A and B are shown apart, each in its own frame.
Chain A
Amino acid sequence: MYMKHEWSARERSILLHLLATETSTPLAEIAQAVNLSERTIQRERQLLEGILREFELELAWQRGHGLSLIGRSDAKQQLREDLILSAEAIPTAEDRIFELAWRLLFEKDTLKLQAVAKQMHVSPSTLTQDLEKLDRWFDEYHLEVERKKGVGARVLGLEAEKRKLMINALLAHWDTLAFYRFVRGEDDYIPAFLKTVPCDVMLEALRDGYDYLKEHPYERMDDRTIMRVTFAYGVQQARLDAGFFLEIYTKGRSDDYLKVALDMETALGTPFSMAERVWFAEEANRLRSLKEQMKEDEEERWVMQIRVHKLIHHVSLIHGFAFTDDAALEKGLLAHILSSMNTQALPDTDTVRPHIDRDYPHLRSAIQQAADIVFGTNTFTEEETVFWAMHFAAALVKPVRRREYRALVVCSAGLGSSKMLVNRVKQEFPEMQDVVNSSLFGLEQHRLDDYDVILSTVPLPPLSVPTLIVNPLLTNEEVQRVRHLLLSLPQSFQTKEKSHSTMLDFNELGALVETFERMDRQFDLVTLDNSDRLEDILLDIGTHLEERGLVQSGIQLSAQLLRRHEVAGLGIPGTKLALFHGRHMSIERASVFAFDLNRSIPLLMMDQSTEPVSRLLVLLAPEEAEDVELQFLSAVSGSLIESERHMNLYSNGSKKELRLLLHECMKKMIQDTLHEK
């Protein structure tokens, strides 16, 4: 057996592209198709050569001709399957819903949702939302999830319907490729949602059932028929093992399939009740005609939706083009497949086919391969997939505005290493529209919001733009990290259109300056002749601030500050500073104050340790504080932990030094406003 390899996205796209072509492919063509530089492909080539030997394939390189994969066709098939299977996603939100359904269906009493949330690593609120989605799905099977507050949830409905739902869930989520790998003994290829639920009995039964069917083909059994009968058997065994029996089953019976059921019982040594036997025969009988079988699925639109989604995912992988973001394609394809289920006569493809074959030869083959994986071999003929190719081709020619990124490259001096990094970035990421370099100290000159990403050779303070520390030479691993980051940029980070407004907002600036001027004027550093009791110290502070007209009641304020201190420590670990703060109706104006104690007292720190404190920084805001006041107080809090130097200054600095720190925060806020952040 071959070694299982963890493919990177880049390796996968290069190899899938090569697998789709019989002849040598020039590097430039591969580079363009998979969106990498030629140099990167050259580098990858050397790494891939060794790995491909495990698959008994050779990656041949001929100068002037390009790359080609040489080896037996079964080895290529093995590689293709491996590449496709390795790209199966990690559990999605959809998988979570299936997992929840599974857990609910196998619970004898009520399922305690709190405990399940913990097991599934989600919050109870997420689980509640999932349950709502589940309701709609269960409704199609006349099942109901009954919730009892404080107790949990359980499923009400017929056992036969529950089983039908489970079989469909397996069919929707288990590709033929992965299924065959599984029944042949490879444990990795079960759907993600089954990986975290106890289902050993079912998995074992699936293998037994498959082994039996493989040896006893009763009639023309295609992949999906085999899968469905196997799933029926597996689900049945799991249900019986868990103590869920069928109610009396009265549907019409099929004698042929009763024989299949009887034969399987005898061969596998699992005697059924009559109800179970009839149920199994019905399940097997349902699959006589492929079209009928698909029609049956069509009743549950979501099953087909998941399959179409998977089809697009696989075509993207095989063809090397991301069709996955195209919602119109998914919708169109789904409508097409659903309507073709109900049409007896297929439209004539003769006129379309030559054009598709000429213009999109690889696409056709990618679609057929993906269809075989998702729906089972030969479920859809080439006649049908020609029309699918039109949907995919339409998505290919659609003018897509390519996402362009802007990067800021930072190094300590902004000379040698950042220039080198700029060149490496341009080389690896042709999609980077702008790559600008900066020194660490010149960083403030840049409007960071204009960039999607910052790549730095030196550690940077936390910034509002996603930042990566990289080597000036930008190693392969780093290239991947950057690409991953670019792909994961959320909507909110997408480059904003540059604002053309150059007018100043005098009102906003005026309000800002007025607030800062007042806070600066009010700020003071007062030394207290204090006792050892925190209550007394806080009362002194309250009285002081009351006298200054900043609070209505010094007593109320001191009580509130004391309570806040009791909730969680307020000392900054590693300093002699504590940050007392409050937001209260009795506070008149937002303000910053510092009080030095002439005798330090032990206080609870924010990490729950106790250390001596000799300075209390007091930050106050009224209940209805203005945004600018809150932003300023937040900026002061943030600046405190910005660096060792800041911590030291806040902790020991003179009044002037403290004022300078506050002014720094003010300046930053004014700059941000001027830059229309």
Chain B
Amino acid sequence: MNVYIACPCGFVTSAMAAKLFAEACSGQVSCVIQHGTYRDIPEDVDWIIYQAGTATINHPTAHVRSVRHMLSLTEYRQLVEEWVNVYET
């Protein structure tokens, strides 16, 4: 699974979020995590995560999800669990 975590600047919030997201994924699901700005979303991505209320993201193929807190490991764990339940089992 290819995950992209987006934030306005692409090097602080999303970088930290990517680290937490990797922790949430560990042992649950294997994925390639990238982060960056809203503008640089790659085409080949399955899942886009961004801060709720900051932007509108459209992508032709990816699942787009907003999170309440970009730095919440608990929230990422829930997201990963949801993903595993729906797509990986």
Chain A residues engaging chain B, CB cutoff 8 angstroms: 90, 121-123, 125-126, 129, 460, 462-464, 466-469, 481, 485, 488-490, 492-493, 564, 567-568, 573, 579, 581-583, 606-608, 619, 621, 630, 633-635, 637-638, 640-642
Taken residue by residue from 1 to 37, chain B's Cβ proximity to chain A (1 for < 8 Å, 0 otherwise) reads as 1100000111111111011101101110111100111
CB distance from A547 to the nearest CB of B (A): 23
A-side contacts of B26, CB under 8 Å: 460, 462-463, 466-469
| Docked-complex contact A606 and B71, CB < 8 angstroms | yes
Given contacts A125-B62, A468-B27, A567-B54, contact A490 B32 (CB under 8 A): yes
Q: Find B11's partner among A129, A467, A621, A641 (CB 8 Å cutoff).
A: A621
* Distance A568 CA – B16 CA, assembled complex (angstroms): 15
Given contacts A462-B22, A638-B18, A641-B71, contact A467 B27 (CB under 8 A): yes
10 contacts between A and B (CB under 8 A): A90-B89, A125-B58, A129-B61, A481-B27, A493-B30, A579-B12, A607-B72, A619-B12, A634-B10, A641-B71
| Docked-complex contact B9 and A466, CB < 8 angstroms | no
CB distance from A536 to the nearest CB of B (A): 23
| Docked-complex contact B29 and A488, CB < 8 angstroms | yes
A-side contacts of B25, CB under 8 Å: 466
| Docked-complex contact B11 and A634, CB < 8 angstroms | yes
* Distance A485 CA – B31 CA, assembled complex (angstroms): 11
Q: Find A469's partner among B27, B37, B51, B62 (CB 8 Å cutoff).
A: B27
CB distance from B83 to the nearest CB of A (A): 10
CB distance from A452 to the nearest CB of B (A): 9
Q: Find A485's partner among B13, B16, B30, B70 (CB 8 Å cutoff).
A: B30
Nearest-CB residue, chain B, relative to A468: B27
Nearest-CB residue, chain B, relative to A640: B16
A-side contacts of B88, CB under 8 Å: 488
| Docked-complex contact A568 and B15, CB < 8 angstroms | no
* Distance A234 CA – B43 CA, assembled complex (angstroms): 43
Q: Does B64 contact A (CB under 8 A)?
A: yes
A-side contacts of B9, CB under 8 Å: 564, 581-583, 621
Given contacts A490-B1, A637-B16, contact A125 B60 (CB under 8 A): yes
Interface majority SS on A: helix, strand, loop or mixed? Answer: mixed
Chain B residues engaging chain A, CB cutoff 8 angstroms: 1-2, 8-16, 18-20, 22-23, 25-27, 29-32, 35-37, 51, 54, 58-65, 69-72, 86, 88-89
B-side contacts of A640, CB under 8 Å: 16
* Distance A583 CA – B29 CA, assembled complex (angstroms): 32
* Distance A577 CA – B74 CA, assembled complex (angstroms): 22
Nearest-CB residue, chain A, relative to B59: A125
* Distance A634 CA – B17 CA, assembled complex (angstroms): 10
Nearest-CB residue, chain B, relative to A608: B69
* Distance A122 CA – B60 CA, assembled complex (angstroms): 13
Given contacts A462-B22, A468-B27, contact A121 B86 (CB under 8 A): yes
Q: Find A488's partner among B30, B37, B54, B70 (CB 8 Å cutoff).
A: B30
Q: Find A638's partner among B16, B29, B69 (CB 8 Å cutoff).
A: B16
A-side contacts of B70, CB under 8 Å: 568, 606
| Docked-complex contact B60 and A490, CB < 8 angstroms | no
Given contacts A125-B60, A467-B26, contact A630 B11 (CB under 8 A): yes
Q: A463-B26, A488-B88, A638-B19 are in contact. List 5 more A-B contacts (CB 8 A).
A: A126-B61, A466-B26, A488-B29, A606-B70, A633-B12
CB distance from B67 to the nearest CB of A (A): 11
B-side contacts of A607, CB under 8 Å: 69, 71-72
A-B pairs with lowest CB-CB distance, top 10: A634-B15, A462-B22, A466-B30, A637-B15, A633-B11, A583-B9, A581-B12, A634-B11, A638-B19, A468-B27
Given contacts A469-B27, A493-B30, contact A567 B16 (CB under 8 A): no
B-side contacts of A608, CB under 8 Å: 69
* Distance A621 CA – B86 CA, assembled complex (angstroms): 39
* Distance A462 CA – B19 CA, assembled complex (angstroms): 7
Q: Find B61's partner among A125, A568, A582, A635 (CB 8 Å cutoff).
A: A125
